[in-house]
């Protein structure tokens, strides 16, 4: 069953602009993760945020988590062409599984 | 550079063939996963192994048969596949088996499988 759902499905911006992607989920979570996937490659882990955290930073990435709204956002500041990729959120469910959303496809043009 | 290597990268096979996908992780992790990624669908978890023991099998058809001979290697044996099985098959590993989604997963670049 799908837990996380990203929004928008696709996003096109210019280099230097900020990109914001959102993830909504249905049931309570313990942790939420964000991944990036470049075309033809595997997923790369970006950030893990715990349910008791509200915000986390890693370089140009900023992730927020609002458990009351069951949502998270990923902000990429000062986007570069190399940020062009699909971005997925993943949440836990009972047991060991991570449930991934369908992803947001980000295109950054120079 | 991911630390998780999958071979082959591309595979074309007929519906009656038997083939195997291989995954090797060089990260010293204890848990390994197989996922299926189809166009316009969320990533689907197929199998989970922890210390070479299968701990999860998400109602995957028996034409997919996993094998984990040691904590560094994972195989997916394929036989009598259907056209709808064409997809990208991704292998991943994590330090330990995830509890509550607390383990980042490291992915290989996948095997692009096409069934004729």
- Listing DSSP states for A41-79 in one string gives S-EEEEEEEETT-SEEEETTEEEEEETTTTEEEEEE-S-
Nearest residue in chain B measured CA to CA from A90: B101
| DSSP letter, residue B63 | T
User: Residue B107: which of A43, A91, A92 has the nearest Cβ?
Assistant: A43
Which of A1, A28, A39, A42 to mutate to test binding with chain B, by most B CBs within 10 Å of its CB?
A: A42
List, for residues B59-91, the tens digit of each pLDDT value. Answer: 899 999 999 999 999 999 999 999 999 999 999
Which positions in chain B touch A95 (Cβ < 8 Å)? Answer: 56
Q: Please list, in sequence order, all residues whose beta carbon lies within 8 angstroms of the beta carbon of residue A38, skipping any fewer than 6 positions away.
A: A44, A84, A85
As a three-state string, the secondary structure of A72-108 is: EEEEECCCCHHHCEEEEEEEECCCCCEEECCCEEEEE
Q: Which residue of B has its CA nearest to A9?
A: B40
- Tell me what the mean pLDDT of segment B94-102 comes to: 84
pLDDT at residue A95, rounded to an integer: 61
Q: What is the pLDDT of residue B101?
A: 81
Look at residue B45 in the predicted model and tell me its pLDDT.
92
Task: Round the average pLDDT of chain A to a whole number and report it.
Answer: 93
pLDDT at A94 over 60: no
Taken in order B48, B76, B72, B28, is the CA torsion positive or negative? negative
Q: What is the percentage of chain A residues whose pLDDT exceeds 90?
A: 79
A50 neighbourhood in chain B, CB within 8 Å: 102
**Confidence check: pLDDT of A19 > 80:** yes
**Cβ distance of A30 and B40 shorter than 8 Å:** no
Q: How many CB pairs under 8 A join A and B?
A: 72
CA distance B45 to chain A (A): 7
Q: Which pair of tokens denotes residue B29?
A: 């992790």
Using pLDDT thresholds of 50, 70 and 90, give the confidence band for residue B52: confident
């Amino acid at each position: 069953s799908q837990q996380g759902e990203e929004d928008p499905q696709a996003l096109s911006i210019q280099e230097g602009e900020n990109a914001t992607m959102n993830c909504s989920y249905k049931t309570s979570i313990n942790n939420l993760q964000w991944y990036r996937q470049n075309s033809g490659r595997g997923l790369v882990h970006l950030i893990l945020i715990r349910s008791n955290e509200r915000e986390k930073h890693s370089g140009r990435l900023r992730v927020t988590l609002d458990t009351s709204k069951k949502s998270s956002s990923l902000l990429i500041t000062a986007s570069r062409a190399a940020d062009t990729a699909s971005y997925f959120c993943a949440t836990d469910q009972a047991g060991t599984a991570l449930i991934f959303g369908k992803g947001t496809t980000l295109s950054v043009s120079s | 550079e991911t630390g998780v290597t999958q071979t082959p990268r591309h595979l074309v096979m007929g519906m009656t063939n038997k083939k195997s996908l291989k995954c090797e992780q060089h990260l010293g992790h204890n848990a390994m996963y197989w996922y299926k990624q189809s166009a316009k669908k969320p990533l689907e978890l197929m199998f989970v192994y922890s210390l070479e023991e299968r701990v999860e099998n998400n109602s995957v058809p028996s034409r997919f048969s996993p094998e984990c001979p040691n904590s560094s290697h994972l195989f997916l044996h394929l036989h009598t596949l259907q056209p709808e099985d064409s997809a990208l098959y991704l292998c991943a590993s994590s330090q330990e088996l995830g509890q509550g989604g607390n383990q980042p997963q490291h992915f290989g670049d996948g095997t692009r499988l096409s069934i004729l």
